A = this chain, B = another copy of it.
Amino acid sequence: MSKIYYGVAYYDEYMPEDRLEKDISLMLETGINVVRIAESTWSTLEPTEDEYNFYHIDRVLDAMHRAGIAVIIGTPTYAIPSWLALKHPEVMVTTVEGQQKYGPRQIMDIVSPVFRRYAENIIRALLEHVQHHPAIIGYQLDNETKHYDNIGRYMQEGFVQNLREKYANLDQLNQDFGLDYWSNRIDRWEDFPPVENTINASLACAFSRYQRQQVTDYLAWQASIVREYAQSHHFVTHNFDFEWRGYSFGVQPRVDHFTAAKCLSVAGVDIYHPSQSHLTGREISFGGDVTRSLKHGRNYFVLETQAQGFPQWTPYPGQLRLQAFSHIASGAAMVSYWHWHSIHNSFETYWKGLLSHDFSRNPTWQEATTIGADFARLSSSLDSLRADHDVALLVSNEAMDALNQFKPGDAKTNVYNDIIRRFYDALYDHNIALDIINDVDESTARYKVVIIPALYAADDGLLERINRYIELGGRALIGFKSGFSDENVKVRHGAQPGLLSHVCGVSYSQFTLPEEVTVTASVPDIDCSHDNRAELWMELLTPLPETRALLRYQHPAWRDYVAATEANYGDGLAMYVGFLPQPFLICQLFDHLTRGISLRSCTSRYAFPLIVKRMKNSHGKSISFVFNYSEKPQSYHCEMGGYALLTDTEVVEGSSLLLNAWDFIIIES
């Protein structure tokens, strides 16, 4: 790709009056060069079965083409028309809450043959119709696809069939999953009960994995249909999303991004984040790191992010710019707002677009025009940025599922994501840039450090590969609960943390919840005088003789136990942390782990709210972004000299630059 895409989702269908030409003119003024259309408009495209209406599609394609604005066509399958729900109630997904009722989007059974038939039909009808239009640059499959907690007949039957193919006899399944417990044993495949209400975490997690596999298969199926029509220069993408806590948070539990992305030519993502005084850039960075990693570091599309968004997100002056360039600094090749205009009816009336309901040139829109201009002006410097990090964070849908089956204490949230984000955020704030990985293999050797929090369920192979990574010189920070259970969520019955015990030089037989427990440091370079509270979980660690104790618990009953250790193994270094530390302590543990080596991933000695991202551009130049994520002005002492792209001025190494509230600078070196 050769330029930065600046886009919006555009819905001619939803307009209270015909505004197409006015909108396009305003888009050109904004610097918009791409629009997403069609992805939620099945009922408009096919108002009754087998009757099609391409009025809006055609006129938007034609008008955009005339204006030089590129178009992404979305397949319209994530919201079904009422006639389909009425004619075939079985296309509505069944969850533990029962069968869903018509109204919302994303309520279909994606493994239902009937749904597949109708979905294929509308995709083919649409693509047949538009395939040769010159405005089109690519296709988006569906929208934030998930399995929608499907426990329907096809999902259940498919799951059992899948197990049958894996297990020649049920004895092994009963043994692997521990089904003898509470009389859950199954001795004939015909007796296999619905998984829906199981109390067996092994079964529940296997089912969850199977559900995610159906998302992968569904997207691959759509991709294969789309590719029958797409031209060779058209990309095929999809907008992945994340766990939703009112904003994008951590790993998506219902999709395996890494396998699902295989069918795409470009990875895409939707990133929504807190704003105003809560804007930190953490979600932009996390979401970007995940998505960039899906295609081995290649640039990705931010297909949706907020312009004004929720009422509490209306951006402060400067924030929209800060956000847009933060996406670029993570490797995005497109920043596209959901959506152009604020919608006048229905569910998302208060999820505001770039334009308010009045279509006027509001202050947020005005700021967007400066972004559009800067994207155009700086595109040759910024359009193909590549990361070159030597730190990676390992995430795993399987570990998430398993850990969340056994949440510590009163935890109600997705604890796995709490933990992952605790580590990620601490390192982000510490200006450690990283890649996200979902496996460890030979290619992992390119990272000097791997962070492995809460790898609760993992097969022996993965644990052995981690050990091998360390043996060959890698340094790993391994978090509590890692290695505890195998790929079937059966707790290992040898010493814990399983196969990691040996390499980490540590073991434990007991654990508890920390209640007013703090830690003290056993080494001089770690400061535990504050932020020393142990949170969530604590393993009562016993180090082997050669293992170095780093931290100990402070508590009358547990003071004999170690809280974190470090051990040499082969040419590498294994740090094990038996509890959830506070962010300040995570940073210190990281610094301790990496003492004596220099890291490209360490982008600055400054810390949040001054965030520094460093990328390489297509001309081989180093591009440093320095972001002020606060409303307080910040002084930045330039660590590298270079050229300030936005202001067209020289930057002298060692000089000081002042960043105003929510401001940033970009330095080419």
Chain A residues within 8 Å of B, Cβ to Cβ: 11, 13-14, 16-17, 40-44, 47-48, 76, 79-83, 85-86, 100-105, 175, 177-188, 190-194, 196-202, 276-277, 308, 311-314, 316-317, 342-350, 356-360, 362-364, 406, 408-409, 485, 488-496, 509-513, 515, 537, 540, 556-557, 631, 661
Which of B347, B362, B512, B537 is A276 in contact with, Cβ under 8 Å?
A: B512
Q: Is the CB of B183 within 8 A of A43?
A: yes
- 5 closest A-B pairs by beta carbon, nearest first, are A178-B345, A79-B183, A103-B197, A43-B185, A101-B197
A574 to B658, CA, bound (A): 46
Q: Nearest Cβ distance between residue A632 and chain B, in whole angstroms?
A: 10
The winner among A103, A175, A485, A490 for most chain B CB atoms within 10 A is A103
A146 → chain B closest CB, angstroms: 16
Chain B contacts for A344, CB-based, 8 A: 178, 485, 490-493
- A44 near B185: Cβ-Cβ < 8 Å: yes
A182, B40: Cβ atoms under 8 Å?
yes
Which residues on B sit within 8 Å (CB–CB) of A180? 11, 13-14, 41, 43-44
Q: Which residues of B contact A631 (CB under 8 A)?
A: 556-557
Closest CB-CB distance, A285 to chain B, in whole Å? 23
Residues of B within 8 Å of A105, CB to CB, are 182-183, 199
One complex includes copies of this chain to the number of 3
**Bound CA–CA A178/B485 (angstroms):** 51
From known contacts A199-B103, A557-B316, infer whether A186 and B82 are also in contact, taking CB-CB under 8 Å: yes
Complex-state Cα separation, A302 to B358, whole angstroms? 47
Could you pull out 9 A-B pairs where Cβ atoms are within 8 angstroms? A44-B183, A79-B183, A80-B183, A101-B196, A178-B345, A184-B346, A311-B409, A357-B491, A358-B492
Minimal beta-carbon separation of A3 from chain B (angstroms): 30
Contact A202 B346 (CB under 8 A): yes
- Is the Cβ of A276 less than 8 Å from the Cβ of B359? no
Judge whether A345 and B200 touch: CB under 8 Å.
yes
CA distance A41 to B185 in the complex (A): 9
- Which of chain B's residues have a CB closer than 8 A to the CB of A41? 180, 183
Closest to A200 in B: B346
Q: Are B358 and A188 in contact (CB under 8 A)?
A: no
Closest Cβ–Cβ distance, residue A201 to chain B (whole Å): 6
Nearest B residue (CB) for A107: B197
Assembled-state Cα–Cα distance A202/B349 (Å): 11
Chain B positions within 8 Å of A179 at CB level: 43, 345-346
B-chain residues with CB within 8 Å of residue A511 when the two chains form the complex: 311, 314
**How long is the Cα–Cα vector from A608 to B146 in the complex, in angstroms?**
56
Partner of A199, one of B187, B192, B346: B346
Please determine whether B350 and A406 come into contact, CB atoms closer than 8 angstroms.
yes
In the bound complex, residues from chain B placing their C-beta under 8 Å from that of A83 are 187-188, 191
Q: A358, B182: Cβ atoms under 8 Å?
A: no
Roughly how many angstroms separate A181 CA and B347 CA in the complex, as a whole number? 9
Contact indicator A184/B103 (Cβ below 8 Å): yes
Complex Cα distance A316/B101, Å?
51
Q: Which of B47, B202, B494 contacts A185 (CB 8 A)?
A: B47
Residue in chain B with minimal CB distance to A355: B509
Known: A16-B490, A17-B493, A42-B183. A191 touches B82 (CB 8 A): yes
What's the least CB distance linking A622 to chain B, in Å? Answer: 33
Cβ–Cβ contact A509 & B314, under 8 A: no
What is the CA–CA distance of A520 and B43 in the complex, to the nearest angstrom? 50
Q: Which residues of B contact A100 (CB under 8 A)?
A: 197
- CB-contact partner of A509 in B190, B317, B356, under 8 A: B356
Interface centre among A81, A191, A485 (most CB of B within 10 A): A191
A345 & B182 in contact (Cβ 8 Å cutoff): no
Which of A44, A100, A509 is packed against the most chain B CB atoms within 10 Å? A509
Given known pairs A103-B199, A311-B511, A491-B357, the reply for A178 and B346 (CB within 8 Å) is yes
CA A661 – CA B313 in complex, angstroms?
49
A13 proximity list for chain B (CB < 8 A): 180-181
Assess whether B345 is in contact with A490, with CB atoms less than 8 Å apart: yes
- By the criterion CB–CB under 8 Å, are A182 and B357 in contact? no
Contact of A314 among B199, B359, B512 (CB under 8 A): B512
CA distance A513 to B190 in the complex (A): 56
Whether the Cβ atoms of A349 and B191 lie closer than 8 Å is no
Residue of B nearest to A188 (CB): B48
Whether B491 contacts A345 by the Cβ 8 Å rule is: yes
Chain B residue, CB-CB nearest to A100: B197
Q: Beyond A79-B183, A347-B182, is A493–B196 a contact (Cβ under 8 Å)?
A: no
Complex: A346 Cα to B201 Cα, angstroms: 5
Q: Are B181 and A14 in contact (CB under 8 A)?
A: yes
List, in ascending order, chain B residues with CB within 8 A of A42's CB.
Answer: 183
On whether A184 and B82 interact (CB within 8 A), knowing A202-B346, A491-B357, A510-B356, the answer reads: yes
* Residues of B contacting A81 in the complex (Cβ-Cβ under 8 angstroms): 183, 185, 191
Q: How far is the CA of A187 from the CA of B197 in the complex (A)?
A: 40
Does B557 contact A184, Cβ atoms closer than 8 Å? no
A312 to B314, CA, bound (A): 43
Report the separation of the CA atoms of residues A409 and B246 in the bound assembly, to the nearest whole angstrom.
Answer: 11
One of B197, B308, B358 near A104 (C-beta < 8 A)? B197
Asked whether A314 lies within 8 Å of B510 as measured between CB atoms, the reply is yes
A101-B197, A183-B42, A509-B358 known; A191 vs B48 contact (CB < 8 Å): yes
